[in-house]
Amino acid sequence: MSNRHLRIRLEIIMNSRERMKLALEHREPDCVPFDLGGTVLTSIHVNAYKNLRAYLGLPPVEIRVMDIFQQIAEVDDDVRAALGCDARNVAPRSSATFRININTTDMPGYNFFHDEWGIGWRMPQDGGFFYDMFDHPFAASTSIEDIKRHQWPDPVDPARFEGLWERVRHVADDLGEPVIVGGLAAGFFELTCWTRGYGQVYPDLVNNLKWVEYLMDTIVDLKLAYWEVVLPLVADYADIVQEADDLAGQFSLLISPDIYRKVIKPRHKKICDFIKARSKAKIFYHCCGAIREIIPDLVESGFDILNPVQVSAEGMESKALKRDFGDSVVFWGGAVDTQGVFTDGTPQQVRDEVRRRVDDFGPGGGFVAAAVHNIQANVPPQNIVAMWETIREYGGYGAENAPGHRPADYWQGYPEAPASHVRSAMSPDARLAGRALTPEEAAQFLEQPGEVPPVLVKLKSGIIDGSSRIALDAAEEALAAGISASTIIDDVVIPAMQIVGDKFECGDYFLPEMMASALGAQGIMKLLRPKLVESKVQPAGRAVIGTVKGDLHDIGKNLVAMMWAGAGFEVIDLGPDVAPERFVDAIRQNKPDIVGMSALLTTTMPMMDTTIKAIESAGLRQQVKIMVGGAGVTQSFVDEIGADGYAPNASAAVRRARELLRS
Positions in the binding site for ligand B1M (CB under 6 A): 70, 130, 132, 198, 246, 249-250, 254, 288-289, 308, 310, 313, 338-339, 372-374, 376, 545, 550-557, 559-560, 596-598, 600-602, 627-632, 647, 649-650, 653
- Determine how β-strand 645-646 pairs with β-strand 132-135: unpaired
- Between residues 320 and 485, which has the closer beta carbon with respect to ligand B1M? 320
- Between residues 446 and 631, which has the closer beta carbon with respect to ligand B1M? 631
Amino acid at the residue 291: I
Among residues 397, 391, 406, 314, the alpha carbon closest in space to that of 357 is found at 391
- Between residues 225 and 263, which has the closer beta carbon with respect to ligand B1M? 263
- Between residues 121 and 226, which has the closer beta carbon with respect to ligand B1M? 121
CB of 114 to ligand B1M, least distance (A): 16
Does residue 203 have a cis bond before it (omega within 30 degrees)?
Answer: no
- Between residues 461 and 651, which has the closer beta carbon with respect to ligand B1M? 651
- Between residues 249 and 539, which has the closer beta carbon with respect to ligand B1M? 249
CB of 387 to ligand B1M, least distance (A): 14
- Between residues 16 and 242, which has the closer beta carbon with respect to ligand B1M? 242
CB of 355 to ligand B1M, least distance (A): 21
86 within 8 A of 35, measured Cβ to Cβ: yes
Buried b (16+ CB within 10 A) or exposed e, 565-590: bbbbbbbbbbebbbbbebbbebbeee
List of E strands, 38-158: 65-67, 72-73, 88-90, 110-114, 120-124, 132-135
Residue 176 has phi, psi (to 5 degrees) of 65, 35
CB of 70 to ligand B1M, least distance (A): 4
CB of 169 to ligand B1M, least distance (A): 29
Amino acid at the residue 528: L
Q: Which residue is nearest to ligand B1M (CB)?
A: 556
Residues 6 or more apart in contact with residue 328 via CB below 8 angstroms: 296, 299
Which stretches of 535-645 are DSSP H helices?
Answer: 555-566, 580-590, 606-617, 635-641
Among residues 561, 659, 631, the alpha carbon closest in space to that of 645 is found at 659
Signed CA dihedral, 630, 635, 637, 638: sign only: positive
Among residues 498, 431, 427, the alpha carbon closest in space to that of 463 is found at 498
CB of 291 to ligand B1M, least distance (A): 10
Residues 6 or more apart in contact with residue 438 via CB below 8 angstroms: none
CB of 132 to ligand B1M, least distance (A): 5
- Between residues 29 and 308, which has the closer beta carbon with respect to ligand B1M? 308
CB of 452 to ligand B1M, least distance (A): 30
CB of 468 to ligand B1M, least distance (A): 19
HEC secondary structure over 626-656: EEEECCCCCHHHHHHHCCCEECCCHHHHHHH
- Between residues 157 and 245, which has the closer beta carbon with respect to ligand B1M? 245
- Between residues 183 and 630, which has the closer beta carbon with respect to ligand B1M? 630
CB of 518 to ligand B1M, least distance (A): 10
Among residues 317, 312, 296, the alpha carbon closest in space to that of 417 is found at 317
- Between residues 163 and 642, which has the closer beta carbon with respect to ligand B1M? 642
CB of 654 to ligand B1M, least distance (A): 10
Rounded (5°) CA angle 392-398-404: 75
CB of 308 to ligand B1M, least distance (A): 5
- Between residues 486 and 590, which has the closer beta carbon with respect to ligand B1M? 590
Contacts by 275-279 with C-beta closer than 8 Å and gap 24+? Answer: 275/227, 275/231, 275/241, 275/302, 276/302, 278/227, 278/228, 278/231, 278/232, 279/231, 279/234, 279/238, 279/241
| Angle at which helices 494-505 and 454-464 cross, to 10° | 30
Q: 241 - beta bridge partners? A: 181, 283
369 within 8 A of 395, measured Cβ to Cβ: yes
Cα dihedral 378, 381, 384, 389, rounded to 10, equals -170
CB of 631 to ligand B1M, least distance (A): 4
Q: How many helices (H) and strands (E) does the chain have?
A: 27, 17
- Between residues 173 and 639, which has the closer beta carbon with respect to ligand B1M? 639
- Between residues 288 and 369, which has the closer beta carbon with respect to ligand B1M? 288
- Between residues 29 and 466, which has the closer beta carbon with respect to ligand B1M? 466
List of E strands, 144-302: 179-181, 238-244, 282-286
CB of 250 to ligand B1M, least distance (A): 4
**Cα–Cα distance measured from residue 515 to residue 563, given in angstroms and rounded to the nearest whole number:** 9
CB of 193 to ligand B1M, least distance (A): 7
Residue 340 has phi, psi (to 5 degrees) of -120, -125
